[in-house]
Amino acid sequence: MDKQPAIGRFAPSPTGPLHLGSLYTALAGFLQARSQQGLWLLRIDDLDTPRNVKGSADTILKTLETFGLHWDGEVYYQSRHIDVYNAVIDDLRKNKLVYPCTCSRKTLAVFDSGPSQADIYPGICRDRQVPLDTPHALRVKTDSRVVAFQDELQGLISHNIAEQDGDFIVKRKDGIIAYQFAVVIDDDLQHVNRIVRGFDLLDATPKQIYLQQLLGLSTPHYMHVPVIVDEQGYKLSKQTQAMAVDLSSPDRVIFQLLILLKQNPPVELQEASLTELLGWAIQHWNPVLLKNTHAVGCDY
């Protein structure tokens, strides 16, 4: 039986142009897939419509092409699969694995007993009868199982979903499918088996594995790479007004990103073309050099 090919993905949200931190993660995923002669897919996470910025998806595509990060197959847009998400949620509802929740942030604040408890849902609505015409979110019922997985860079991660998260939202009160739920369905639909993403998403992974187990789906291999932080130690993001990536010198930017990825590109590659640079990076890709690193500083 042939070994299943490595299938990775990059899944940006169309909330603005790619910044250096996003491109850094994209490059890591691209190199991981290509070094294994695998596929690298592109997914646009456009479900959170209030945050979407018109034209951003096309800008993201053009930016990736400018940097030589060419994806395989057609671009996958989450917004075209809403019927699929809702069908799975309906099945969970029929099996009484999800329930309506009317709690507001103000309601939950009363139960907040400190930072360690801030994100743990106390189960207020789990056994409450909520009229279906009342605005509500949907939460998935969790149990006390321990979800454990071996992250390729961060080592063994072990997480008790019920104690550390409680029942979490799979569909928001505004009707938007929650990220945690959509990403699990998407990865299954796209047959993704290798996920490379930022360390900042590590805490979300046990919840996604819990959903995979609940739905009988396979669990991909995970690799959470360190995030780029600025001089103040904040992750580069749109929220911190990170600048759009410079498109004028893609070869120079890729060289700098390889340094941040601790790949130690030879100095002479500073004069290489983008094609040569990416060719070298694929051939020499060694993610182990990032092991146990959570963040890398950048003054770029």
Q: Which two tokens stand for residue 182?
A: 């959509």
Beta-ladder partners of 10: 42
Longest dimension (CA), the chain: 68
Who's near 146: CB < 8 A, 6+ residues apart?
A: 158, 159, 160
Q: Closest Cα to residue 30, out of 4, 60, 57, 6?
A: 6
How far apart CA 42 and CA 118 sit, in angstroms, is 33
The secondary structure of residue 248, as a DSSP letter, is S
Residue 12 assigned as binding residue: yes
Q: Is 11 annotated as a binding residue?
A: yes
Q: Residue 197, annotated ligand binder?
A: yes
| Amino acid (one-letter) located at 257 | L
Radius of gyration for the alpha carbons in the chain, expressed in angstroms and rounded: 20
Q: Is 101 annotated as a binding residue?
A: yes
- Is 13 known as a binding-site position? yes
Residue 45 labelled as part of a binding site: yes
Cβ(28)–Cβ(196) under 8 Å? yes
125 is in an annotated binding site: yes
Q: What is the residue whose two structure tokens read 């490595």?
A: 6
**Helices assigned H by DSSP within the chain:** 20-35, 56-66, 82-94, 105-109, 161-164, 179-189, 205-215, 250-260, 274-284
Tell whether 76 is in a known binding site: no
Where do we find the tokens 């799975």?
A: 88
- Cite the annotated binding site for Zn(2+) by residue number: 101, 103, 121, 125
- Cite the annotated binding site for ATP by residue number: 238
- Cite the annotated binding site for L-glutamate by residue number: 9-13, 45, 179, 197
- Cite the annotated binding site by residue number: 9-13, 45, 101, 103, 121, 125, 179, 197, 238
